[in-house]
Amino acid sequence: MTSTDPSNAELVRQTVEQIAGQDLDAARKVWTDATVERFPDRTCHGPDEIAAYFSDLYRAIEDFHVEVITIAGSGDDVFVQWRMTGRHTGPVLGVAGTGRELAVDGMDHFVVRDGMVVSNFVVFDQMQFARQVGLLPPDASAADRALKGAFNARTKVVDAVKKRRR
């Protein structure tokens, strides 16, 4: 007898593609009240909070698009490497819209049981995002070297003060 149920990796691919296509009604079908999604800026519980998170993201990133780079699954665990692109037009991670183009790399670790998402841990390159929106200077630029120099000087002062107090 052959099963027609999708593998966990196939289910996750479908879900990510639904999210990328802004089809939250379809994506909701794999989220339960017990589903937990850990994003870098907050943790969401259940389909309503998760869908609201993505709705906010769609409003904040014009031309929101996610490309799946690779998916690997083993048992209940599915890992997805992805790239998100779009234009930063609204608040993301507390940063007001800048109008700048984004191309941010990330990955998810899904746990799937009985065809439902139990949890997902989302990680993306926040430094890449910060540089692209102008929150941080370009790597190796004069401003970047100055910022790192100031931080290193502060660290030396703090270390010296700590040594004196001992």
Across 148-157, average pLDDT: 94
Same domain, 22 and 91: yes
Structural contact between residues 43 and 62, judged by C-beta atoms closer than 8 angstroms: no
- Structurally, how many domains does the chain consist of? 2
Residue 147, SS3? helix
Q: What is the mean pLDDT of the chain?
A: 95
Same domain, 84 and 147: no
Taking the CB of residue 61, how many other CB atoms lie within 10 A of it?
Answer: 20
Same domain, 69 and 106: yes
For 77-96, write each residue's pLDDT tens digit: 999 999 999 999 999 999 99
Same domain, 115 and 149: no
**Which among 75, 68, 81, 128 has a CA at the least distance from the CA of 109?**
81
For 15-26, write each residue's pLDDT tens digit: 999 999 999 999
Residue 1 placed within a domain: no
Across 159-166, average pLDDT: 92
Residue 3 placed within a domain: no
Same domain, 40 and 115: yes
- pLDDT-based confidence at 5, cuts 50/70/90? low
> Domain of 122: which CATH number?
3.10.450.50
- Cα separation, 4 vs 109, in Å, equals 24
Same domain, 149 and 104: no
Print the domain residue range for 141.
Answer: 137-166
Same domain, 73 and 20: yes
- Cα separation, 109 vs 122, in Å, equals 7
For 33-92, write each residue's pLDDT tens digit: 999 999 999 999 999 999 999 999 999 999 999 999 999 999 999 999 999 999 999 999
pTM of the model: 0.88
Same domain, 131 and 144: no
Q: Which of 40-49, 97-106, 156-165 has the lowest mean pLDDT?
A: 156-165
Residue 77 placed within a domain: yes
Beta bridge partners of 102: 86
CA count, 13 A, side-chain hemisphere, 141: 9
Same domain, 115 and 146: no
Same domain, 56 and 13: yes
Residue 2 placed within a domain: no
Burial readout 94-114 (b: 16 or more C-beta within 10 A, e: otherwise):
eeebbeeebebebebebbbee
pLDDT over threshold 60, residue 3 = no
pLDDT given for residue 6 in this prediction: 78
- Cα separation, 145 vs 11, in Å, equals 45
- Cα separation, 84 vs 62, in Å, equals 11
- Which residues are within 8 A (CB) of 156 and not within 5 positions of it... i.e. 6 or more apart? none
Same domain, 57 and 118: yes
Same domain, 151 and 96: no
